[in-house]
Amino acid sequence: MKILGIETSCDETAAAIVENGSKLLSNISASSAPIHTKTGGIIPEIAAREQTKSIIPVIQKAIFDAAVDDRRTVEADFVTIKWARENIDAIAVTVGQGLIGSLLVGVEVAKTLAWVWDKPIVPVVHTLAHVYPNWLSGPPFPEFPTVVLTVSGGHTNIFLMEGHHSFKLIGETRDDTAGEAFDKIARFIGLSYPGGPAIQKLAQGGDPKSVSLPRPMIASKDFDFSFSGLKTAVVRQAGVKSYKKKDLAASTQAAIIEVLETKTLRAVEKYKAKSLLLAGGVAANQMLRSQLKEKSPVPTYVPPVELCTDNGAFVASYAFYNYFTIPRNKIFAQADTYTALGKYAKNIYRSS
Ligand code: KG4
Ligand code: ZN
């Protein structure tokens, strides 16, 4: 089964074609991040406009790349459309959560294509789709039950997955996400957006023990997080004494990662997980990747960095393993997580 996955929840315009959930036939994306770097963060209206400009060329190129055998013979546009009509079995699209103006672009284009080509449409919840690079880089595939740490700009969640279709949310952030903490502190230090990679780079030469920072909620028995106080702590420390930027960066990175890692490994132990998965944009962080792998008592999956950040491939892969279609006129963009989870994802529940 070949699925076209479309992702436009934030600043990436992405499309991919994936066969049977794990074979990548194409994976294309265009990012408006360089524009947001100049403004120091995302301006939703600008992100949505860029989505509109990029969506058709990105989808076209994804189909063109997947149709590799046919395209040599006939003229490109014609082949693209003919191949898509004949070969794509379903269209999957991120319906939420995310920036509403950006989401609308992907959802409405997906709906239009589904109508014109008469294909089923699969609604996809972004935070769950983020888990699926772990199936795109196999075999081997993770064994269930598995604990998943999803860390990005939009979410910081720990899921217990007992199988596909079964996501138990056992922990989440109560305020800022880990990605937001990286981004906000980076901005304070004077680094550009996105802050995570910038902090990682600067931290290389810094001393992670130089600035004393809290480890929020590290000792709490639940699996929730709280990162909003960390930025205040960095600002306060920087006001008391002047630190080198690289030391602030290294200490910030160490604080965020220690909390993520401690709680995730505790969840692995409590739920007797057979594997551990890392997902989301922050999963690109080298320290998080290597430390989790080193300390985890079970097989630990850390997908390639290029699949961790937003892309169409994880949307298509999620849709294959969690296949569920609804009438084309019943699909809408949903900005907030809980409406998206409740409306479009079955068998997701918050543990008591
Ligand atoms: O998954 P993603 O591309 O988009 C969202 O769904 O949010 O994640 C983007 C987030 C940003 O906050 C960015 O700073 C963070 O991922 N990030 C990193 C690294 N690369 C990206 N954080 C820490 N270290 C990195 N190397
Ligand atoms: Zn994301």
Give residue-wise pLDDT tens across range 155-198.
899 999 999 988 899 999 999 999 999 999 999 999 988 899 99
In the block, tokens 């990175």 appear at 253
Average pLDDT, stretch 58-70? Answer: 84
Q: Ligand 1 pocket test: pick from 99, 182, 192 the residue with the most ligand atoms within 8 Å of its Cβ.
A: 182
> Per-residue pLDDT tens for 218-232?
999 999 999 999 999
For residue 340, pLDDT beyond 80: no
- Which residues are within 8 A (CB) of 240 and not within 5 positions of it... i.e. 6 or more apart? none
Mean per-residue pLDDT over the chain, rounded = 91
For residue 96, the cross-strand partners are: 125
| Virtual torsion, Cα 166, 172, 178, 181, nearest 10 deg | 150
- CA 235 to chain centroid, in Å, comes to 28
Could you tell me the pLDDT band of residue 349, with boundaries at 50, 70 and 90?
low
For residue 352, pLDDT beyond 50: no
Q: Ligand 1 pocket test: pick from 31, 191, 260, 282 the residue with the most ligand atoms within 8 Å of its Cβ.
A: 282
For residue 70, pLDDT beyond 60: no
> Per-residue pLDDT tens for 131-147?
999 999 888 999 999 99
pTM equals 0.90
**Distances in whole angstroms, Cα of residue 175 to Cα of each of 80, 180, 202:** 44, 10, 26
Contacts within 8 Å (CB) and 24+ apart, 51-56: 51/8, 51/13, 51/101, 51/102, 51/105, 51/106, 52/105, 54/13, 54/30, 55/6, 55/8, 55/13, 55/15, 55/105, 55/106, 55/109, 56/109
Could you tell me the pLDDT band of residue 76, with boundaries at 50, 70 and 90?
low
Q: Lowest mean pLDDT: which of 28-37, 105-114, 257-266?
A: 28-37
Distance 193 CA to ligand 1 centre (A): 10
- Token representation of residue 168: 């138990």
Identify the residues whose C-beta falls under 6 Å from ligand 1.
10, 152-154, 179, 182-183, 194-197, 200, 280-282, 284-285, 309-310
> Per-residue pLDDT tens for 15-35?
999 999 999 999 999 987 787
Nearest to 246 by CA among 189, 194, 321: 189
The environment of the single-atom ion ligand 2, i.e. residues with CB closer than 5 A, is 152, 310
